[in-house]
Structure 1
Amino acid sequence: MAAEQAAGNGLVVVACCKEKRVTSSPVPALDLYEGWVVPLVRDRVAAGSTERNRVLVLSARYGLVTADTPVSTYEQPMTEERASALSWTAPGVLRRHLARFPSTEALLLMEPRYARVLGPVPVARARLITDPMGRHGDIQAVLDSWSWP
C-alpha cells in the first residue's frame, strides 16, 4: 500500500508495562506508562491528534483502552488467568474501535501473551513485534509509512 493511501489509516496497539508514573489522580493511558516502547509511541502522537485516536493500550488491569482513557497507577501482571479473562472483552473493544476508526493496517507492540488476548486483528495487514525494545527502527519505519508525525 502506498504511503498516501496508508496515511491516517494505521492502528497501534501497545502493551502496558511495569514502569508507570505515580499519580494521585487518573491520567490518559498513554501518559501513564514510562517503559517498554510506550514513550516512543507517545512521542509520535500529540494529545488530541488524529493519530492519537488510532492508538490503543492493552492494560493488564484495564483491558484494551484508548490512548486517552483515564487510568490510575496500578500493579497487575498479565497472568494466564488475567489474559484469559481479558480475551473475552478485548476483541469486542477492538472491533468497535475499528468500526469508529477504520484501519487497514495494525502494528502490535506486545509480548505473545498480550497478542493472544486480542485474537485475530481484523485488518488487511497486522504486524506483531514481540521484541520492540530492539526494533525501534522498524517501528519508526511503519509509522513513517503511515505519514505519522
Structure 2
Amino acid sequence: MVNNCCSGSSLRKSRGWKRYRACAGVLSFGVLFVFQNAAVARPANGPHMTGQRLIHDMKADPRTGHNAVQRERAMGYLDGVMDAGAGTIWCPGRKDIPHELNYEVTDDIALLGPEKLKGNAAQLVLAALAAHYPCKPSRGKQ
C-alpha cells in the first residue's frame, strides 16, 4: 500500500492538519475582514474624504484607539492635496510654509457650514490654501 501524503486520513493524523486548519481559519477571517471593510468604505460616487471626516481625523485625540493612525492618514491626505495644487491653485512663493499649515487649513474648513463639509475635502483644502497663499496673475506676453 502506498502512503499518500495528501489523503484525508494521513493529514488528520499529522501535525500538518492542525496547522492547515489554523491557517485556513486565519485566512478566512482576513478575507471576510477585507471584504466587510470594502463594502462599508464609502458610498458609490462619493468623495474619498469629506470635510467632516478630515476634521474628525485631524482633531481626534491621538492617544486613544486608532486616532493616531487616522490623523497620520489625514495629514498624508492634506500633503497630497497640497502637492497637487501647489503652483497652480495656491502659491506659497518664497514664503516659508509653517509646519502647522495642516492644522490651520483644518481650522479654516471647520468654520464652513455642515452642508459644505459633506463635500469633497480636497476642494475645501485647496480653497483654504488659495485664501492663505493666492497665486498672482501671470502677465501675458503682448
> What TM-score results when the alignment is normalised by the length of structure 2?
0.26
Structure with bigger RCO (C-alpha 8 Å, 6+ apart) = 1
Normalised to the residue count of structure 1, the TM-score between the two structures is 0.25
Structure possessing the higher radius of gyration over alpha carbons: 2
Larger helix fraction of residues: 2
